[in-house]
Structure 1
C-alpha cells in the first residue's frame, strides 16, 4: 500500500499546492518538479531507510571510548538524504537550496519518517540552520548554516539540563566572555561555556565532519550571579570542532564531551546523549587579551538575554516535525495492520443460528470490530497528516503571502502549533496500539513491525514539550494572544467550512455537530478564565487541549470530505468512500468525547489540583 495517493490528494486536490508555483519565489517549480522530488524521496526511503528500520532498532549506538558507533546503514541513509538536497530544500538558491515550498518539503519528508523515523531525516540540522538564517550574522549563516544545509555539518538543540528538565528558567549553564576583546571575533562575540545538557538527540556521532550545537546558557551579571528565570538566557553556537571564518576545521576539538548515552524504549537508531560543556576533557587554549578563561568555546547568536526568543524559532519548527513523525509512525502501523487484516483468515460470520464451523474461515477484515480498529487508525493518521500539511501550507503563506494573509497565517500557526505537536503524538500512538491489536498476539512479538512503531512513537508525547506543557501553552497563552485573535481567525475558517458543508445533504449533520463543538470550545475557554486565576484555568489544560484538538480534526475531516466529493468525478471512488467513511467515524465515535473533556474545563474542576500528596 502506497502513501503517495493520499499525499497527492491532500496536496493537490485539497490544499491546491500546485498554485504556489504562481508566486515569484516558486516560479521555477510546477507539479512536475514537485512530483520529481516525491519520486526521489520515495525511492531513497524505500531503498536506504525502510529495509534497515529493524537493524537500527537492534544495533543501538554505542561508545567505544573514542567515538559513537552507528550501523553502516545509518551512514548510507544520511549520505543519500544529504545528496538529495532535502536539507536545504526550502532555502534560497544562493544557500544551495531549491526554493521549494515548505508544504512540499514537509510532504517529501513524510516518506522518510514512515520508512524509519529512527534513522532520521535531518529535522534538527535543518531547524538549527533555519534558526541561524533568521537570527545569525552573515558570517554565521555562511560558516555554520550553509555547511549544515549541505550535509557537511549536522546540528542539535541543547536546552534541558539534569536538574531542570523542561523548566528552562532553571538552567545553570554559564557563559563568560573569552578575553577582553571577545566582542571582536569574526564568528560572533566569543564566550566560554560550562554546564551539562541532556536529552540531546544526535549529540555525538561520526556521520558528519562537525556537529553544531545551539546551546542555551546564562551570562552572569556584574556581581557574578545568574539572572533568575528565563530573562537571563542567551543562545550560543558551540561547535564540536572549532572552525575558522571560512568554515574550515582548525584541528582543535572543542571542550564538548560525551557524558553518556541514554538507552531508550524506542527511536533507538538516533543517539541521545548527555553532554558536558567545559569540563576540561578537551581544553581549548584561551585567545585574545585578558586573563585566561576555560570552557567550551561558544559564539553568541543574536543579543544577550534573548536566547529563548531565538530558540523558539527552532522549537516551533521542531514541534511540527514531531507531529509529522508521530503521524507517519501511526500511518506505518495502519498500513501494516491493514495488509495483515486483508490476508489473515480467522473466524466465521455470525448467523442467526450461530457460527457454522463447516464454512471456510473469513479474513479478519470482514469482522466489524477489526474494521472499527482500522477505521480509527485511518481517521487518526490521515486526519493528522492533513493537519500537518495544512500547517505547512500556513508556513508558506506566512513567508510568501500578502501582508494581510501572512499575518493571519502567523496567528493561526500560533494557535495550531500545540495541536500539530500534541494531537498526532497522542492519537497516532493510539493508532499504533490498535495496529498491535489487529495483529493479535503476533503484534506483540518482534516478528512483525508494529511493536517497534508503538515504541518509537511513545517518545513523541514527551519531546519538544510534553502534553502538559503544550496544554498550558494553548490555554494559557495561545488562545489569549492579541485579545483572542488567533482563536477568532480559526473559528472563522471553521465556520466557512460549516457554511459550505451544510449545503450538502450527506455532510449537513456533521456541519451542525461541528458548529456545536466550536461553540462549546468557545464557551469553555471563557469559563476556564472566568475567575482570572491561572490555577483555576490551567488545572485542566490537557483536557482542554484534547477537546480543542478533536474539534480541529473534525473540521479538517469535514473540509477534506468537501474536497473529496468535489474531486469524485475524476478520482478514485473507493478513495472517496474511504475518506467519507473516516469522516463519518470521526463524527460518530470521536467528536462526542469533547463534552466530557470540556465539562471539567468549564467547571474549573479541581479534583486533581486539590488532592493532597499523602492521598496518593
Structure 2
C-alpha cells in the first residue's frame, strides 16, 4: 500500500496546490515539478530510510568518550537527504534554494517521517537556519544559515535545562560579554556562556562537520544577578567548532561538551543529549565559557526562538501523523493476510467453513477505520497548516494576516492532536496484530514507542492546552477563533446542501457552538486558575471539532471525485469520525464549562 495516492489527493484535489504557481515566487513551478520533488523524496525514503528503521532502533548511539558513533546507514541517509536539496527547499534561488511552497515541502517530508522518523530529515537544522534568516545579521545568515541549508553543518535548539524542564523562566544558563571588544565581533556581539542544557536532539554526532547550537541564556544585570522571568532571556549562536567570517573552521573546539546520552523509549536513531556549556573541558582562547554570538536584541531570545518552535511544532505533528500512518499500513496489510476465526451466521459459527481473514471481522474493521480517520485526517490538517504558511508569506496583505492568526490558533492543535490520536492509532495497530504486535518481529511496537515522544517534546500536551485556552483563543479579542469559525461555517454551508453530508454539517455546527459556549464559560469568572484547570479536555474537544471540520471539507472534495475504492474509504472515514469520535466532546466540554475543580482542589495527601 502506498502513501502517494493519499498525498496526491490532499495536495492537488483538495488543497489545489497548483494554484500557488500563479504567485510570482512559485511561477517557475508546475504540477510536474511538484511531482518530481515528491518522486525523489519517496525514492530516497524507500531506499535509504525504510530498510534501516529497525537497525537504528537496535543499534543505539554510542559515546566512546570523544565522539558519538552512529550506524553507517544514518550517515548515508543524512547525506542523501542533504543532496536532495530539501534542507533549503523553500529558500530563494539566490542562496541555492528551490523556492518550493511549504505545502509541497511538508508533503515531501512526510515520506521520510513514515519511513524512519528516528533517522530524521533535518527538521531542526532547517528550523534553526530559518530562524537565523528571520532574526540574524547578514553575516550570521551567510556564515551559519547557508552552511546549514547546504547540509555542511547541522543545527539544534537548546532550551530546556535539567532543573527547569519546560519552565523557561527558570533558565539559569549565563551569558557574559567576552572582553571589552565584545560588540565588535563581525559574527555578532560575543559572549561567554556557562550552563547545562537537557533533551537536546542531535546535540552531538559526526554526521556533519559542525553543529550550530541555538542557546537560550540570560545576561546578568549590573548586580550580577540573572533577570527573573522569560523577559530576560536572550538567544545565542554557539557553534561546536569555531569558525571565521567566511565559514571556514578555525581548528578550535568550542567549550561545548557532551555530558551524556539519554537512553530513550523510542526515536533511538537520533542522539538526545545533555550538553555542558563552558565547563572547561575544551578551554577556548585562555578564558572560561563557551563562545556564543547574540542573535537579535538582548532579552528578545524567546520571541526569536518561537520562530523555530512553532515551525517545529508543525513538524512534530507531521512526525506523529506519519508514525500513525506507518502503523495503519502495517496493520492493514496484516489484517488482509491473517486468517483467524469464522463468520457468525444465523446458526452461529460453522467449524467446517474455512477461516476468515481478520479484516472480515467487524471489530477489526472498526480498529482499521479508526486508524484511517485519525491518520488521514491528521495529514490533511498538517497540510492545511502548511498551506496557511504559504498564504502568510506570499498572500495578499489581508489574506496573509488572516493566515497568521489562524496559524496561531491551529498550531497547538497541529502539534497535539496527532501526537495523541495517531499514538492511539499505533496502539490499535498493535491490537490488530494481537500477540504478534507485542513482539519485535513486527514493526508496530516500534512505531508506538517512537510516537510516544510526540506528546512530550516541543511543548507537552498540558502546555499546548494552556497556550490554546489561555492565550490563542483570546488574542486580538478572539479574532483568531472568529476567523476559524468563519471557515468552519463556510464548509458547513456547502455540506448542508448535500443530502449525504447534511447531518454531519449540523453535527459540526453544534460542536462549534459548544466550543464557543465552553470558552466563555471557562473564563466566566476571569480567574485563570479556574479557566485553565481543565485546559486539556478543552484542547481535546477543540481538536476534535477541527478534525471534524477537516474531514467534512475533505469529504466535499471526495464527493466530486470519480467513484473508486479510495473515494468510498475517505467518505467512510469521515462518517466514522462523526459517528464514533465527535460525540466524545460532551464529556470533555462538560468539565470545562463547569470549571470542574475535582483535580485542581484535591489535596496532595489524598493521592
Name the TM-score, length of structure 1 as normaliser: 0.98
State the partner residue of 1:166: 166
State the partner residue of 2:202: 202
Cα deviation for residue 583 of structure 1 reads 0.6
State the partner residue of 2:120: 120
Cα deviation for residue 445 of structure 1 reads 0.3
CA RMSD in angstroms comes to 0.5
Cα deviation for residue 476 of structure 1 reads 0.1
Cα deviation for residue 607 of structure 1 reads 0.3
State the partner residue of 2:250: 250
Residue deviations 1:198-243 (CA, integer Å, cap 9, x gap): 0000000000010000000000001111000001100000000000
Cα deviation for residue 519 of structure 1 reads 0.1
CA distance in 1, matches of 2:140, 2:28: 28
CA distance in 1, matches of 2:577, 2:584: 10
State the partner residue of 1:15: 15
CA distance in 1, matches of 2:260, 2:66: 12
Secondary structure of the residue aligned to 1:585 is helix
Secondary structure of the residue aligned to 2:46 is helix
Cα deviation for residue 160 of structure 1 reads 0.3
CA distance in 2, matches of 1:579, 1:519: 26
Instruction: Please list, as runs of the form range in 1=range in 2, the aligned pairs for 1:174-213 lying within 5 A after superposition.
Output: 174-213=174-213
2:303 aligned with 1:324: no
2:290 aligned with 1:296: yes
Of 369-378 and 573-582, more deviation after overlay is shown by 573-582
State the partner residue of 1:426: 420
Residue deviations 1:345-371 (CA, integer Å, cap 9, x gap): 100000122100000001000000000
Cα deviation for residue 23 of structure 1 reads 0.4
2:327 aligned with 1:333: yes
Cα deviation for residue 339 of structure 1 reads 0.4
The list of structure 1 runs, each at least 4 consecutive aligned residues, that deviate by more than 2 angstroms after superposition, is none
Residue deviations 1:33-55 (CA, integer Å, cap 9, x gap): 00000000000000000000000
State the partner residue of 1:558: 552
CA distance in 2, matches of 1:388, 1:144: 29
CA distance in 1, matches of 2:564, 2:348: 35
2:580 aligned with 1:586: no
Residue deviations 1:370-395 (CA, integer Å, cap 9, x gap): 00000000000000000000000000
State the partner residue of 1:607: 598
State the partner residue of 2:267: 267
State the partner residue of 2:438: 444
CA distance in 2, matches of 1:355, 1:578: 29
Cα deviation for residue 421 of structure 1 reads 0.2
2:229 aligned with 1:235: no
Cα deviation for residue 417 of structure 1 reads 0.1
State the partner residue of 1:108: 108
Cα deviation for residue 606 of structure 1 reads 0.4
Secondary structure of the residue aligned to 2:291 is strand
Unaligned stretches of 5+ in structure 1? 287-292
CA distance in 2, matches of 1:535, 1:113: 38
2:515 aligned with 1:521: yes
Cα deviation for residue 567 of structure 1 reads 1.9
Residue deviations 1:75-125 (CA, integer Å, cap 9, x gap): 000000000000000000112100000000000000000000000000000
2:343 aligned with 1:345: no
State the partner residue of 1:283: 283
CA distance in 1, matches of 2:430, 2:315: 25
CA distance in 1, matches of 2:549, 2:39: 30
Instruction: Please list, as runs of the form range in 1=range in 2, the aligned pairs for 1:494-505 lying within 5 A after superposition.
Output: 494-505=488-499
Cα deviation for residue 142 of structure 1 reads 0.3
Residue deviations 1:472-507 (CA, integer Å, cap 9, x gap): 000000000000000000000000000000000000
Instruction: Please list, as runs of the form range in 1=range in 2, the aligned pairs for 1:369-388 lying within 5 A after superposition.
Output: 369-388=363-382
CA distance in 1, matches of 2:569, 2:34: 26
Name the TM-score, length of structure 2 as normaliser: 1.00
CA distance in 2, matches of 1:94, 1:273: 35
State the partner residue of 1:355: 349
CA distance in 2, matches of 1:95, 1:174: 34
Residue deviations 1:280-323 (CA, integer Å, cap 9, x gap): 0000015xxxxxx4200000000000000000000000000000
Secondary structure of the residue aligned to 1:610 is coil
Unaligned stretches of 5+ in structure 2? none
2:65 aligned with 1:65: yes
CA distance in 2, matches of 1:65, 1:556: 50
CA distance in 1, matches of 2:341, 2:172: 61
Residue deviations 1:387-434 (CA, integer Å, cap 9, x gap): 000000000000000000000000000000000000000000000000
Residue deviations 1:496-543 (CA, integer Å, cap 9, x gap): 000000000000000000000000000000000000000010000000
CA distance in 2, matches of 1:163, 1:274: 12
Aligned length, in residue pairs:
607
State the partner residue of 1:456: 450
State the partner residue of 1:289: none
Residue deviations 1:242-270 (CA, integer Å, cap 9, x gap): 00000000000000000000000000000
Secondary structure of the residue aligned to 1:607 is coil
CA distance in 2, matches of 1:244, 1:188: 12
Secondary structure of the residue aligned to 2:220 is coil
